[in-house]
């Protein structure tokens, strides 16, 4: 494995670290946008509920008005019929029906007055909520726009980093790329680590056998740490997010190439 291939692999790892950071940050934007918009949404939801109730009351008032008009027509016909009755029995029947309809008409009028009062108060509430909603939305929009601008900046940086990653991968050998892709797909943050001056793995700090140290320093083979499985390099400084204990990774990598397999 050449130094240029190792350098390219190191660059891919560095870019992937940054890409993962930005992707994690990107996931936080939806909650942040919702939080910024929450005050306005709460008022708008309340406004929508009041407007819905107001519309229903207005529909009920129109229904009562139509019912009242129908009763007025019925009352007029009964009054006309009353002038044409021919006996007391017929007159009593007409008077009874007329009385019932007039009482129902009076009940409609009373309900209409109550509805008109409720409508008037609801309209005042709607007006107040519309004012408060507009003020809340005006306060929310600058904060929301700032979050959107930040998200757009991260999207643009992610696009640039992914393009640079694709370019860096062109300099990575087939074997190295296969090993890297396997680690990267599993979510492991470190694939390439430096062989320390004392012969320890720069990722898990396990000691590497002397013969393997010499092979690593010769730079002719792809050598992986027997304890944690990362690719070891003697010449390059590789950024590490944090060291891990050998015991915590030995079992996780036991299935890959029997830990310390080498490939040329």
CA distances to 190, 196, 230, 235 from 253, in Å: 13, 21, 9, 24
Q: Cα(247)–Cα(102) distance, rounded to whole angstroms?
A: 92
Note whether 222 and 175 are within 8 A (CB).
yes
Which range has highest mean pLDDT (73-77, 187-191, 231-235)? Answer: 73-77
- What average pLDDT score do residues 66-84 get? 92
Q: Is the pLDDT of residue 263 over 50?
A: no
Q: Is the pLDDT of residue 47 over 70?
A: yes
- Average pLDDT of the residues of the chain: 83
Higher pLDDT, 245 or 41: 41
Question: Band of the pLDDT at 250, cuts 50, 70, 90?
Answer: very low
**Predicted local confidence at residue 244, as pLDDT:** 38
- pLDDT tens for 29-40 read 888 888 888 888
| CA dihedral angle for residue 166, residue 167, residue 170, residue 173, rounded to 10 degrees | -80
User: Which of helix, strand or coil describes residue 203?
Assistant: coil
- What average pLDDT score do residues 244-249 get? 38
54: left (phi over 0), alpha (psi -120 to 50) or beta: alpha
Higher pLDDT, 252 or 81: 81
Predicted TM-score of the model (pTM): 0.50
> Which domains are assigned to the chain?
23-169 (1.10.287.1490), 173-263 (no CATH)
- pLDDT tens for 85-133 read 888 998 999 999 999 999 999 999 999 999 999 999 999 999 999 999 9
Question: Band of the pLDDT at 2, cuts 50, 70, 90?
Answer: low
**Predicted local confidence at residue 3, as pLDDT:** 63
Question: Band of the pLDDT at 178, cuts 50, 70, 90?
Answer: confident
Structure token digits, residue 138: 């005006």
- What average pLDDT score do residues 58-68 get? 94
Q: Cα(171)–Cα(7) distance, rounded to whole angstroms?
A: 9
Note whether 148 and 141 are within 8 A (CB).
no
**Predicted local confidence at residue 132, as pLDDT:** 92
Note whether 9 and 192 are within 8 A (CB).
yes
Question: Band of the pLDDT at 1, cuts 50, 70, 90?
Answer: low
Q: Which residue has the tokens 């709607």?
A: 126
Note whether 172 and 191 are within 8 A (CB).
no
């Amino acid at each position: 494995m050449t130094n240029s291939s190792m350098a390219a692999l190191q660059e891919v790892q560095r870019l992937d670290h940054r890409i993962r950071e930005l992707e994690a940050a990107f996931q936080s934007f939806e909650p942040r946008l919702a939080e910024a918009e929450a005050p306005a949404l709460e008022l708008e939801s309340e406004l929508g509920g009041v407007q819905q109730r107001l519309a229903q009351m207005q529909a009920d008032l129109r229904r009562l008005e139509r019912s009242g008009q129908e009763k007025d027509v019925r009352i007029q016909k009964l009054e006309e019929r009353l002038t044409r009755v021919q006996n007391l029995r017929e007159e009593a029947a007409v008077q009874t029906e007329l009385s019932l309809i007039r009482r129902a008409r009076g009940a409609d009028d009373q309900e209409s007055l109550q509805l008109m009062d409720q409508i008037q108060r609801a309209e005042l509430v709607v007006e107040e909520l519309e004012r408060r909603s507009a003020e809340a939305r005006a306060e929310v929009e600058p904060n929301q726009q700032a979050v959107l601008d930040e998200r757009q900046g991260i999207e643009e940086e992610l696009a640039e980093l992914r393009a640079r990653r694709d370019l860096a991968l062109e300099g990575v050998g087939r074997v190295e790329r296969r090993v890297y892709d396997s680690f990267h797909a599993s979510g492991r943050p470190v694939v390439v680590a430096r062989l320390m001056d004392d012969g320890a793995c720069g990722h898990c700090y396990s000691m590497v056998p002397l013969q393997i140290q010499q092979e690593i320093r010769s730079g002719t083979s792809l050598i992986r740490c027997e304890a944690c499985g990362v690719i070891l390099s003697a010449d390059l400084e590789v950024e590490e997010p944090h060291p891990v204990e050998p015991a915590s990774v030995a079992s996780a990598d036991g299935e890959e190439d029997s830990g310390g397999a080498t490939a040329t």
